């Protein structure tokens, strides 16, 4: 999978208050290594079994705002990990919206692969309410699923 995506008005600059488009594309091994300090999770561990996509501000494709690792499985897209860069998390983030944009990207990829928007992922306990705001449902343990109706709403928002 090598598709490039533009997510309309997906990120908000917290310095200017303006919304800007985001760009999503497959991350190269070099990019993952180069930016590993921006993330808590080690995406290098995923690169042999998952497709890793980067999220950037359109026009700044070398400055990662988020990463997500996913792979298609029968009937659903498995999202192994998604994370906004440190600079876009709590406190005083440079950009808001990276997490929601990563979820929307996964939903769009699921649709593009004929999986109807279904995605699943394991949430951190404290993030369950955050994901529920976007239509994710807790199915067992920390496993959450986004079904087609919620996926379509996210896709319509950005694509």
- pLDDT tens digits for 104-139? 999 999 999 999 999 999 998 889 999 999 999 999
The whole-model pTM stands at 0.94
**Is the distance from CB of 34 to CB of 14 less than 8 angstroms?**
no
List, for residues 8-37, the tens digit of each pLDDT value. Answer: 999 999 999 999 999 999 999 999 999 999
Number of structural domains found in the chain? 1
| Owning domain of residue 121 | 5-158
Closest Cα partner for 149 from 129, 139, 135?
135
CATH number for the domain spanning 68: value is: 3.40.630.30
Show the CA angle centred on residue 27, arms to residues 144 and 157, nearest 5°. 50
Q: CA 71, CA 129: separation in Å to the nearest integer?
A: 24
**Containing H/E element for 95?**
strand 95-96
């Amino acid at each position: 999978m090598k598709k490039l995506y533009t997510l309309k008005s997906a990120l908000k600059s917290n310095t200017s208050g303006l919304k800007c488009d985001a760009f999503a594309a497959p991350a190269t091994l070099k990019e993952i290594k180069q930016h590993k300090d921006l993330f808590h999770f080690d995406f290098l561990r995923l690169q042999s079994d998952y497709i890793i996509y980067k999220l950037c501000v359109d026009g700044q494709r070398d400055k990662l705002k988020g990463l997500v690792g996913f792979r298609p499985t029968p009937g659903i897209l498995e999202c192994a990990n998604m994370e906004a860069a440190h600079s876009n998390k709590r406190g005083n983030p440079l950009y808001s919206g990276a997490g929601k944009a990563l979820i929307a990207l996964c939903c769009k990829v699921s649709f593009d692969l004929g999986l109807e928007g279904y995605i699943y992922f394991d949430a951190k306990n404290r993030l369950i309410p955050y994901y529920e705001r976007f239509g994710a449902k807790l199915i067992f343990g920390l496993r959450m699923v986004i079904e087609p109706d919620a996926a379509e709403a996210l896709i319509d928002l950005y694509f």
